[in-house]
Amino acid sequence: MRYVDDAPAAVLAAAKDMLRRGLVEGTAGNISARQEDGSIVITPSSVDYADMALDDLVVIDLDGEPISAKEGRSPSSEKLLHLACYKAFDDIGSVIHSHPVHATMFAVAHRGIPACIDEFSIYVGGDVRCTAYGASGTADVGAEAVKALEGRGAALLANHGMVAVGPKPSTVLHITALVERSAHIVWGAESLGGPRPLPDEVNQGFAGIYGFLRQNPM
């Protein structure tokens, strides 16, 4: 089971950085990390990232029940998405759900993002798949995300946004930003005749690197 050292500090730092990068606005999106005892530190519901502090974070168990929480704070409404990912993948220590503009455009269109850039497959594992639709906050979102995340570092959530997974919040935030940048590039390439995917053998080789890095994070 992978966990994150000083998970609360790592979650808060990533939350602030996610807002700074424009990957979310206001209170949208959520970040979590797994602790050594198996509990999950997650951002609270309805607290602006600009104002969020360490004592605003909530600790929950794998059933979603609060272990510790400041009065008036409750775990993110998307906790079921996070918990589904942790239960499915022992090799991840963090989950980030975000609403970046270009990646969400693909999610709204129910289109995956093709692996057209070398570094994309290295850090994400290949094409980013789009899930079947699941209503926000329901177990369906997590169940569909787990399917789309098999062998990948990110997935699009139909009509919603994206989810990314990895060893620690800073790495998962890098994946999130890379997917958003690639979505922007692919969207622009559509006006130039459409993106051209990398050769299959290249993507397979890069996917192998992704698999190694996922099991042996730096």
Active site (catalytic) residues: 78
Pairwise CA distance, residues 10 & 198, whole Å? 34
Q: Where are the beta strands (DSSP E) in the chain?
A: 30-34, 40-42, 58-60, 66-68, 94-98, 154-157, 161-166
Give the chain's count of helices (H) and strands (E).
Answer: 7, 7
SS3 category, 34: strand
**DSSP3 helix / strand / coil % (the chain, rounded to 5):** 45, 15, 40
Distance in Å from the first CA to the final CA of the chain = 16
Side chain identity, residue 213: L
42 and 75 Cβ atoms separated by less than 8 Å: yes
